[in-house]
Chains A and B, each alone.
Chain A
Amino acid sequence: MRTALALGLSLAMSLSMSAAAHAQSGAAEGQKLAFDRGKGNCLTCHEIKGGDLPGSIGPKLENLKGRYDRAELTAILNDETVRNPLTVMPPFGRNRILTEQEISAIVDFLQTL
């Protein structure tokens, strides 16, 4: 239900925006999704610039630009157990915690770090 609603919103947003504006506002939307406790909830495990009191399970998310391309980040968000069966990172795409559009927005945000 929540996912369906978010998908709808996300679609509506993408449609209403020009392609040029997309990446920038995608990153802003992505940050919101990354920090949202009901969505990415990334701060539970990762330290991220701009987020208060992060957890310590995952690596600090910094200098991602250049280290990972878009496809790699998308794959990690989608299902990191493919690369690392022991990871505790939830498979956000495979288990539909986040929609494709939401993952794309979060990747936009991660690429600004």
Chain B
Amino acid sequence: MTASSGPWANRRLILKGAGLVALIGLGNAVLHAAPVFAATNDNKYPEDAFKQKNAGDAIKALYGRDHEASDKIKLDAPEIAENGGVVPIAVTTSLPNVTSISFIVAENPFALAASYHIPEGTVPAVANRLKMAKTSNVIALVESGGKLYSATKEVKVTVGGCGG
């Protein structure tokens, strides 16, 4: 996508999406019971890891092992976040046998932001939008073949220009 054609291409997507939303809206129903997950223990919500304040403790609680930097992970994040409340961050990797991808925002009050299970057949790539309290390293963790790899990038977050 080029910078000049980009938004217009997206707008067409939106138009397409509008019809789609109308269609799928019919199939929606509010669940009254908890959703049913595949019956493995892996799918339990990692409450403890999300409660850890710093990155090291969160990674330990989530994975219980060390990570090493890998150039096979592409972490796509802005240099300067346009707004700390909505920072688009994406990861893709060429590492094999990926089972999970997690996002750490080191300087947030709670370092672990999101963790995604990647079952077999799912592409090891995730894009999401995260909150950042201030300028911080963002660490993408990729669990591959039972090992843990990482990529890190600093994202600058600043206050708005007009005074308080």
B18 to chain A, nearest CB (A): 38
For the complex, would chain B's binding face be called helix, strand, loop or mixed by DSSP majority?
Answer: loop
Instruction: List A contacts of B162 (CB < 8 A).
Output: 44
- Interface membership of B35, Cβ < 8 A: no
Tell me, in angstroms, the Cα distance from A60 to B124 when the chains sit together.
Answer: 45
Measured between alpha carbons, how far is A69 from B87 in the docked complex, in Å? 44
Q: Does B159 contact A (CB under 8 A)?
A: yes
* A45 CA / B156 CA spacing, docked (Å): 17
- Residues of chain A with a CB closer than 8 A to B158's CB: 52-53
Secondary structure dominating the interface of A: loop
Tell me how many residues of B have a C-beta within 8 Å of chain A: 9
Q: A53, B80: Cβ atoms under 8 Å?
A: yes
**CB-based contact B80/A44 at 8 Å:** no
CA–CA, A101 and B158, complex, Å = 29
Would you call A44 and B156 a contact (CB within 8 A)? no
- Tell me the nearest residue of chain B to A97, going by C-beta: B163
Would B164 and A38 count as touching, CB distance under 8 A? Answer: yes
Q: Is B27 among interface residues, defined by CB-CB distance under 8 A?
A: no
Please name all residues of chain A whose beta carbon is closer than 8 Å to the beta carbon of B161 when the two chains form the complex: 44-45, 55
Q: Could you list 19 A-B pairs, sorted by A, with CB under 8 Å? A: A37-B159, A37-B163, A37-B164, A38-B163, A38-B164, A39-B163, A41-B163, A44-B161, A44-B162, A44-B163, A45-B161, A52-B135, A52-B156, A52-B158, A53-B80, A53-B135, A53-B156, A53-B158, A55-B161
Residues of chain A at the chain B interface (Cβ within 8 Å): 37-39, 41, 44-45, 52-53, 55
